[in-house]
Structure 1
């Protein structure tokens, strides 16, 4: 198998709030959730995703929900001085893919996308519960250009609406401070996998909303040109629409991460 990965911050002068690991055995992509409010934590989102990723990599062999629950618990134990009960405590969406001899196992919590091209079909796997939350506030924010005062106010309202449903029944689930969230992840296994990709939502923009590629095209591009080329195409599309008027979105650019595993 050929394994390749790339991860770039939205702004090269800012910290990357994505995190990735890719080996012959394991692929992990974490996408830190943007903090638009106080979080009760002095460390920040980048520190959280790096700590959570390292904790996942340190104990990858148990059942995947157990892997994630243990990593969340160990990460929380690293900063007990912070207010981990704060409703906006740093959090991340998660995808873990583990390659076995007979099957590929996956865990998805939040809007990270796993693409798996198998001998029977192409699987597009994600967890859409975040997008199904705060829909009225989300649509309202889409009406304003990026960078405007109206957009900033609308995004703050959206964030508060999201936080009211984060890690609660009927809402959505992400990795934060409570290991119980891992039990709500989307899990499964696939056989006959020929090639596979894991994308943070910043990289998946190339399909939606930008429409520059379809999912098979993403895999073809990753196989032929690699993850860096995919992210460069995302950046090129973002640059043509900095105010988000053609493709409404929350940020002009987003941290973008892509992992590819294939022949």
Structure 2
């Protein structure tokens, strides 16, 4: 059996009440596959599906379906694996609508998704959405894998948040309502040509899959993240990519997350660090390559 990853640490925690993030390893401690999910926070007026939120429901379905698909064929091409996953997600979604609801009544759920697999002598990292990956090679260099289009979108959202704050909009709930039209416009670009990819019950998301392969012998560590954990770099500016990885290795993901929460608690209204969510769900999965 091909060995894959050793898990050095992991954490996932909600920003407020409900955690729409998740992580998993498969099939056990010496994992051959590992992934992180960051459910896309809904902007519908009413929930469409059972569960605490539509995003949390969707993430839970992936967590149930994907291990079973990997057990049936762990080395199948990623596009095939995702096609099967999306097919099952769609079937489950279609039989799970709340009374009177359907996909015609609002935005259907989705999640950013990163999947790392050991395939032969290579590590494959497949990504949909804004879950970044920090990869350390044996020469000590740290590489960031992210989505350039989503980085541009985030930069534009920050400019709009600053403009609203300049007009005197400071309360988080009011700011969210002011930003709702911009968020709806962004969501219209999901899984569309020229837009960005996220995992959803839509087969066209496969066309926007980003995939990289690296010789396994070259990689020392992988850090799979949700963007809530990566805020230490791109929102709060307390870390570089290199220091975030090293802090996570040295302190462990849970202690590093506690550091992040302290930074957020010291800026509870986003005056110092303008942001739409004062605290976001955060997930980190730290792996060593065997």
Assess, with a 3 A threshold, how the Cα gap between structure 1 residues 137 and 9 changes in structure 2: closer, same or farther: closer
SS of the residue corresponding to residue 213 of structure 1 reads coil
Q: Deviations over 1:114-139 (max 9, x none)?
A: 11111353221012323434865552
Runs (4 or more) in structure 1 with deviation over 6 Å come to: none
Assess, with a 3 A threshold, how the Cα gap between structure 1 residues 153 and 225 changes in structure 2: closer, same or farther: same
The two structures have a TM-score, normalised by structure 2, of 0.82
Of residues 158, 179, 188, the one that matches 1:155 is: 179
Alignment of 1:101-180 (within 5 A): 101-120=120-139, 121-133=141-153, 138-143=158-163, 144=165, 147-148=171-172, 150-180=174-204
Contact 1:4 1:261 (C-alpha < 8 Å) held by counterparts: yes
Assess, with a 3 A threshold, how the Cα gap between structure 1 residues 45 and 212 changes in structure 2: closer, same or farther: same
Contact 1:65 1:107 (C-alpha < 8 Å) held by counterparts: no
Shift in Å, 1:253: 0.2
Alignment of 1:216-231 (within 5 A): 216-231=242-257
Of residues 86, 106, 109, the one that matches 1:90 is: 109
Q: Does residue 1:206 correspond to 2:216, yes or no? A: no
Residue 4 of structure 1 is matched in structure 2 by 9
Assess, with a 3 A threshold, how the Cα gap between structure 1 residues 249 and 148 changes in structure 2: closer, same or farther: closer
User: Which has more radius of gyration?
Assistant: 2
Q: How far apart, CA to CA, are the structure 2 residues paired with 1:79 and 1:113?
A: 27
Q: How far apart, CA to CA, are the structure 1 residues paired with 2:85 and 2:105?
A: 19
Of residues 254, 259, 262, the one that matches 2:285 is: 259
SS of the residue corresponding to residue 28 of structure 1 reads strand
The two structures have a TM-score, normalised by structure 1, of 0.90
Q: How far apart, CA to CA, are the structure 2 residues paired with 1:70 and 1:238?
A: 39
Q: Deviations over 1:8-40 (max 9, x none)?
A: 0112xx221001013521110010011122476
Q: Deviations over 1:143-179 (max 9, x none)?
A: 4365346412222122111122122111111112212
Q: How far apart, CA to CA, are the structure 1 residues paired with 2:149 and 2:15?
A: 24
CA RMSD of aligned residues (A): 2.2
Assess, with a 3 A threshold, how the Cα gap between structure 1 residues 21 and 78 changes in structure 2: closer, same or farther: same
Q: How far apart, CA to CA, are the structure 2 residues paired with 1:99 and 1:39?
A: 40
Figure out how many residues of one structure are paired with residues of the other and give that number. Answer: 261
Q: How far apart, CA to CA, are the structure 1 residues paired with 2:207 and 2:58?
A: 20
The structure in which a higher percent of residues are helix is 2
